[in-house]
Structure 1
């Protein structure tokens, strides 16, 4: 029997869905806390990477479901453990470098831009005064995002210079990175495409509701199934490939002022609850089945 491990942060709908899909596929799946990962170097157990009493270097594949919060040391060690597993031949999805790149919005867009893909004008830095200059260069209307973040949390739109001054100095004071994107005038919705091994498995359109401009389903956006056109598919697949992701949630948005689609973000640990609900696609089963094929 094929045996996989899913590294998780707590239990929830996605963990339950993976366990359900594993049972349907006759796959043994261990859901293991990422915070319990340990590794040995030297001695009889040298090279062994474990979590929750399971030797990860002995399973057929590992799914990174969620990276829990932690100190810099903890996060670096977790990534090191994933790299060790990859080095000894255990398929890790997503690969450590893809997870590392996707969690950092600046690095994500840097890699995507190098592939010649369209992205919003973006500035990142550490100085409030430099941020204010960038604010003006970006047209005085920007979206400020946490460098590390998801589900639309902590994102604000700023078009007032005094508010920008206050926000940027607060971020500088808390030793945060300032990450600014030019506000994109869009049709009131964005697009989420789920890419799996170089093809689009499914897609949805997310619309903002109740006067909210953010479209994320986690904060009240409305999702509906959407059939992507070839251009959107090519763009999503190329964005996932730029990060080296085996699967990814790629967010696109239409720029009404400049025309065409741009890549907003790539999530290498994407959720799929809304996508599965509106499309009827069994995303968890497709993911585990593809990993099983890769592990053979």
Structure 2
């Protein structure tokens, strides 16, 4: 029986779903907290472990969630994942893809390099430059945290005085200022779950009344959606651009341009809403694919 480990930041629905799926597909799954990861160098053979379980000897590692931490903690956790890949342990997603996808600026730069459609975006560190970018982007932008998920921390800014206040507040806290041109969309976006070079399932997420953010975590409604060939192509290409094996890829329709653009690639995506809407057993598919990769 294959022996896998899931690195997590806590227990919850996704952990329970992975444990359920592990029993269904006949694999052994250890759930390990990222905060308990430790490693040795120059002591015996050297290993990466967590909760007294050596990870060098497992057949595969699934990165479920990277918890918040100090810069040193996050860097060390990524170092540990790189160590595992160096000794031949399949790590999903690979650490390079996790590093790329967690950073919105780096993600979009990788997508643009592949010639994929992305929204007009500016990133910088000073309020003065941000105000110039605000004007250049049409005076209507979405301000996003560079690191963030589930639509939290996003703010639409369409007034210059508010932009001045917002950008100066971000500068004073030492934050990177990340601005994206506001895209007039039909009130919904598309989330496609890619695994192993194909779309496993997809949903359309519709914002609740009075809200422009479509994320299910903040009240959006999800329904099953069958992707067309172009949407599937974009999702698979975006996943490959960040080097991920699986990803949640977000597309939105730009009504003014009449095209779709890629908004985000999530290398540690949730699948609760997608599974509920589509009936796809994402957890079982992930573990089954990881077992094939570990053979």
For the residues of structure 2 that align with 1:44 and 1:10, how far apart are their CA atoms?
Answer: 31
* Superposition TM-score, scaled by structure 2 size: 0.99
Could you list the structure 1 runs, at least 4 aligned residues long, displaced by more than 2 angstroms after superposition.
none
Aligned to 1:14: 14
**CA deviations over 1:248-290 (Å, ceiling 9, x no partner):** 0000000111111100000000000000000000000000000
Provide structure 1 residue ranges, at least 5 long, that are not aligned to the other structure: none
**CA deviations over 1:95-148 (Å, ceiling 9, x no partner):** 000000010000000000000000000000000000000000000000000000
**CA deviations over 1:222-248 (Å, ceiling 9, x no partner):** 000000000000000000000000000
SS in 2 for 1:58: coil
Aligned to 1:268: 267
* Superposition TM-score, scaled by structure 1 size: 0.99
Cα-Cα RMSD? 0.5
For the residues of structure 1 that align with 2:262 and 2:175, how far apart are their CA atoms?
Answer: 24
For the residues of structure 1 that align with 2:69 and 2:256, how far apart are their CA atoms?
Answer: 40
Aligned to 1:150: 149
C-alpha displacement of 1:45: 4.0
* In the alignment, structure 1 residue 184 sits paired with structure 2 residue 183: yes
Aligned to 2:135: 136
For the residues of structure 1 that align with 2:173 and 2:45, how far apart are their CA atoms?
Answer: 42
Aligned to 1:27: 27
* In the alignment, structure 1 residue 98 sits paired with structure 2 residue 93: no
Pairing of 1:202-241 with structure 2 (within 5 A): 202-241=201-240
Aligned to 2:88: 89
**CA deviations over 1:44-90 (Å, ceiling 9, x no partner):** 142x0001111101000000001011000000000000000001100
* In the alignment, structure 1 residue 288 sits paired with structure 2 residue 287: yes
Aligned to 2:115: 116
Aligned to 1:36: 36
Aligned to 1:201: 200
C-alpha displacement of 1:43: 2.3
SS in 1 for 2:56: helix
For the residues of structure 1 that align with 2:102 and 2:174, how far apart are their CA atoms?
Answer: 18
For the residues of structure 2 that align with 1:10 and 1:227, how far apart are their CA atoms?
Answer: 32
Aligned to 1:249: 248
For the residues of structure 2 that align with 1:110 and 1:183, how far apart are their CA atoms?
Answer: 18
For the residues of structure 2 that align with 1:62 and 1:260, how far apart are their CA atoms?
Answer: 37
Aligned to 1:162: 161
C-alpha displacement of 1:165: 0.3
Provide structure 2 residue ranges, at least 5 long, that are not aligned to the other structure: none
C-alpha displacement of 1:26: 1.1
SS in 1 for 2:82: helix
